[in-house]
Every structure is written in structure tokens, then in C-alpha cells.
A and B are shown apart, each in its own frame.
Chain A
Amino acid sequence: MSANSYRQAYLYIDPRTKMLLVLCCGTLFNAQMGMVAEIAVFFVVFTIGLFVHGVKSAAKIFIFYSLAGLLPLILLHSIEGFMTIFFTALSTLVLIFTPAVYALNIITKTTTVSDSVSALRKMHLSDSVVIPIAVFFRFVPTLKEEWQSIRSAMKLRGIGTSFFNVVRRPILNMEYVLIPLMMSTANIAEELAAASMSRGLAKGVNRVPISEVKFRVADYIIIVGFPVMLAILYSLKQKGVIV
């Protein structure tokens, strides 16, 4: 994570708006929206991501999208045979899934834990749902760190390294990975719970966070504009006006 990740680059949008973003990208999954819609969705998310997450990550996604999604389409005319299937498959997958993946990335990298708790509470979800979800996001990077350490330890002992060995005794190798990870999770989770509770975190307790979660101009534009755009493009596709 770069130093910029917890500063929203130029624009701040409500976590709930970000969730709506993901849902809108999700409409592409049934492959009924058509290619124009898919590309339009990408550009909307890309623009939002540019201002919310930062230039660096937006640039990376753009390059990936162009090379793996758009380029194969352009090259489609000049190749034939087996490669056609591959290129079509690759391009379609990228076009359909990249916006959603990017939108999810925006959520996880630019939403603070405090904001996610506030947003979920504003949606009138009970703390029994809010707290586990907040902890979920807090925990995933920790799991990544633990996993890397365990992987190094496995390399040192020479277990789980060769593909052949793993396939030969799968259950044993699964144990090697799972056990340290599970023990680690159980320990860290307990420490985290003790620390948080001794600092006043409790179910049902009212918090006053310093960053207020509320809808602003940008949120309203996205909440209204994005679904409307999708609806228009969908009907145009059904009428056969666009591809």
C-alpha cells in the first residue's frame, strides 16, 4: 500500500456510493449489456477512480484494460483459428470483470475502517453485522502478511514446494498450510478483540467519528447518473441500435 492510499486523492465519495459502483459494474456479468455499455462503464469507473484513488493506480488499470481487453479486439481481424477463441475469451472476460474488480479495489483501498462502520450503521444494519464486516476488512491484509511468512517457513523446511509432492499427498500439505494460518488467526483475533474492547469498542455503543459519512454533490451525481446511463444503454442495446 502506498503512502497515498489513505488519503483520498482529490475527491471524497461516500462508502455507500462506492458499493453502488460495484453493483453497477456487476450488471455487466450477465453479458447482456453489450460492448458499448461495458466500455462506457469502465470509463466511468476509471474516471471516478482517478479522482478518488489516485493517478498511479488508475494508470495501471488503464494500461491493463487496453492491452488485455481492447487490443485483442483490434487484433481479432488479423488472426484466425484457435487464437480467435482465446482472444475473444480473454477480451470478453477483461471487459466484463475489470470494472468490478477496480471498483472493489477502490472500496478496500480508500475506505477507512471508521467510515465503513459509519456507512454500514447508516444503512441501518445491526452491529452484529457491522462489526464483523469491519473486522473482515481490517484482517485481510494481516492474513496476507501471515501467509507470506508461513510460505517462507515452508520453503525453509522444503515442504509444499514441489507441485509433485503437493499432488501426491494433498491432505497433508493442506494441513501444513492451514494449521499455522488458523492458529495465527485465532491468536491475532483474540489479541485484536482484547485491545479493541479495552479501548471502548462495544456492540451497540454509539460512536462519534471525526469523519462524517454523508452524501455530497458527487455522490448524488453518481447515484442518479450511473444507473440512468446503464438503463439507457441497455435499452439501446435491446433495440439493436448499438452493439
Chain B
Amino acid sequence: MNQTKMKTKDLILAGAFLALYCVVSLGVIMVLGFTPITFLLVPLIVPIVVGPVFSLYLSKVPKSGAILILGIIVTLLSNSTGYIYGIIFGAIATVVAELIAKAGKYKSKQMFSISYMVFSLIYTTPYMMMTLARNAFMEKTAMISGQEFADVLASFVPNWIFYALIVLALIGAAIGSFFGQRVMKKHFEKAGIL
């Protein structure tokens, strides 16, 4: 049982991968965040790009709590606006992802993929308000970017956007997981860094 508990070495590696994961995510988000349409594609694209990092992280630290640490930090960063339901949703996604990985005894690649798909739902949390608290969200946007911008946004963003984004995130994570496994095999295993 001690084999799956995180030791000091794992904690340090976790911190490093945490940094890499966040920096890459942020990089992609900043590039995509410029136009409204690409802004909505974040839950699809970010999990794809970050897939390999997640795969490498889990292969270096296949321990209990690895996903938990990553998830908590990412949830907090994604929901810095303080939307409490977003944080709760993200926390739940993190815990479920951790449990799925645990079910695979931190070794099964399929379980890691499923875990990643659940994990990536964290990226939909900033958009929760658009569906679940639509009026409040539109008011906020109006205050930030003006009434006209809010109207434009309202006109092409449907009510069920949040659910759509959940689907997008799952698709993105599936692709990202596949991409991640491929990268691991093609590069890391071949180079013997694993």
C-alpha cells in the first residue's frame, strides 16, 4: 500500500509538473481568449494541448493524490472570479477523477484516460454562469464590456451552452488523452526517459 502514497520526491516532481501544466494552459488560454468564438473553444482545445503533460505527470508520479493536487490548483485558478458553484463543480470533478485513477490502481492507461476526461470538466466551470445564471452573467458582461457586447453575446450563445461545453471538454480530453499516449510512446518511452 505504501507504494501508492506520495513521498517527498513525488511531491517535488508534482510541484514542477503543476507549474508546467498551468503555464501551458495559461499560454493557450491567452492566445484563444481574444475573440468570443475562440474563447468558447477553450474547453475543447486546452485539454488537447495539455494531454501529454498530464500523461507524463501520471507516469512519473503514479500516486494517490497526484490528480487531487493538480485539480485543486487548476480549479482555483479557473474560478478566480469566485463563483462558488464553479469551485464546487471543479472540486467534484477532481475527486471523481482521482477515484477513477485509483480504481485503475494508478496503472491502467484506460482508467487514466477516463480520469482525464472527467478532470477536464474543470475547464467548463468559468462558463457555468452562462447557462445556470444567465441573467446575472449578462448583466456582468454588460457592465464590463457594454450593453451592445452583451447583446451580441446573448444572441449567439444559446442557453444550453454550458452543456455543450461539457461535451466539448469530454471530446477534447479524449483527443488529448489519445494525443498524450501517442506522445508518450513516440518520444518518452523511446528516449528512455520513462
Contact = CB atoms under 8 A, between A and B. Distances in A.
Contact of A30 (B16, B23, B140, B145): B140
Interface of B is mostly: helix
Contact of B11 (A30, A88, A93, A131): A131
Contacts of A179: 183, 187
A183 B81 CA distance: 34
B14 A132 contact: yes
Contact of B69 (A132, A186, A197): A132
Contacts of A174: 49
A96 B82 CA distance: 14
B144 A189 contact: no
A17 B146 CA distance: 34
A13 to B, nearest CB: 21
Interface string B49-68: 10011001000100001000
Interface stretch (B1-9, B99-107, B153-161, B163-171): B1-9
Nearest to A139: B19
A196 interface: yes
Given A92-B144, A178-B53, A197-B9, 18 more contacts: A132-B15, A133-B73, A135-B14, A136-B16, A136-B73, A139-B15, A143-B19, A143-B20, A143-B23, A182-B20, A182-B52, A182-B56, A182-B188, A183-B191, A183-B193, A189-B12, A201-B12, A203-B11
A88 B149 CA distance: 11
Contacts of B146: 84-85, 88-89
B80 interface: yes
A135 B61 CA distance: 15
In the A-B complex, the 4 residue pairs with the smallest Cβ-Cβ separation, listed nearest first, are A135-B15, A189-B16, A132-B15, A139-B19
Interface of A: 26-27, 29-31, 84-85, 88-89, 92-93, 96, 100, 127-129, 131-136, 138-140, 143, 171, 174-175, 178-179, 181-183, 185-190, 192-193, 196-197, 201-203
Contacts of B8: 131, 193, 197, 201-203
A140 B23 contact: yes
Given A131-B8, A139-B19, A31 B187 contact: no
Contacts of A185: 16-17, 19-20
Given A132-B11, A178-B52, A89 B23 contact: no
21 contacts: A26-B82, A30-B81, A85-B148, A88-B146, A89-B149, A92-B145, A93-B144, A131-B14, A132-B15, A133-B73, A135-B12, A136-B16, A138-B15, A139-B15, A139-B20, A143-B23, A178-B49, A181-B24, A182-B20, A193-B8, A197-B8
A197 to B, nearest CB: 6
A28 to B, nearest CB: 10
A30 B137 CA distance: 9
Contacts of B183: 175, 178-179
Contact of A181 (B15, B20, B140): B20
Contacts of B12: 131-132, 135, 189, 192-193, 196-197, 201
The residue among B19, B80, B187 with the most chain A CB atoms within 10 A of its own CB is: B19
Contacts of B13: 189-190, 193
B19 A85 contact: no
Contacts of A93: 144-145
Nearest to A95: B144
B18 interface: yes
B89 interface: no
B15 A133 contact: yes
B37 interface: no
B88 interface: no
B62 to A, nearest CB: 14
B143 interface: yes
